[in-house]
Amino acid sequence: MPTATAPAITYKIPRRRHPVLQFMVQQPLGAAGLAFIVLMAVCALFAPWVAPYDPLDVDYSSMLAAPSADHWLGTDSFGRDVLSRIIFGARTALAVGFLASFTGSTIGAVTGVVSAYFGGKIDLVIQRIMDVLLSFPIIVLAITVVAVLGKNIILGVDVNLVVAIGLPMIPKVARVVRSSALAIRELPYIDAARTAGYSDTRIIFRHMVPNVVAPYLIMITAFVAQAILAEASLSFLGLGVTEPTASWGLMLSGAAADFYQQAPWMIVFPGIAISLAVFAFNLFGDSLRDWLDPKIKL
């Protein structure tokens, strides 16, 4: 008599979601912030085709025109289209913001890893220098650097402005990365690398730096918002971008302060652009921190 065989048991391995989709599902607010950042970047990249007018075109017959079908956000005291200048101003904000944040965060991350790895007197000297830089508010230090260095335009970007905004970010990133690197330095594989005779440079950049990428990415994303705000502040004070370049901070200064009662759209719409950009980067940075931090994900 034939014996009955038990049915085969099959196991389905759950399909893993793409990291981007996983981030969007777990962090909807961060996804909304990222969507706005992507939209702003696309508008900035394709500004000549997105903007309805040339941001430098002057139309004296349309000076201080209220928002209408011809000029959706109105015009300024020179008859320039406010919407077009906001779109082109996104180029300035993102270029300076990303370059300053990337430069400051990268230097700070490397400094923090080097300080943690060597320790001793090297760590003591580096940390005291970081303390000096931390003692100055970011805007005060940026104003000082811009006033001393002046302007140095390369490929349409003021390099000295990028340095001025990125410099105050170095000590903050260095402190955060150093705390992570101190724990990594004591792990067995670092001792094994030393025993194998690897150089300090190889250990730092091949074995330690890749393991502090998570806090580095979080800091670089969060500091873009501060860099955009600092650029707008410096331009408002006359130390950043100068006319006729489109800049959100520059749009809030000069004639805008004189005609704010007659033409409030000259101040309201650039201010909204700055607020939304800073808010979007803060949302994305906070969500990225929550998503990458295993302690929070548990």
**Residue 9 to residues 13, 14, 15: CA-CA distances in angstroms?**
13, 16, 19
Mean pLDDT score across all residues of the chain? 82
pLDDT band at 38, cuts 50/70/90?
very high
61 in a structural domain: no
The pair of three-digit structure tokens given for residue 20, joined into one six-digit string = 């981007």
Name the residue with tokens 């399909």: 15
Domain count within the chain: 1
CATH number for the domain harbouring residue 272: 1.10.3720.10
pLDDT tens, 214-268?
888 888 888 898 888 888 888 888 777 777 788 888 888 766 667 777 888 888 8
Structural domain including 208 reads 82-297
28 in a structural domain: no
214 in a structural domain: yes
141 in a structural domain: yes
Average pLDDT rounded to a whole number, residues 3-22: 58
Percent of the chain past pLDDT 70, that is, above it, reads 88
The pair of three-digit structure tokens given for residue 105, joined into one six-digit string = 């965060």
Q: Cα–Cα distance between 88 and 7 in angstroms, integer?
A: 66
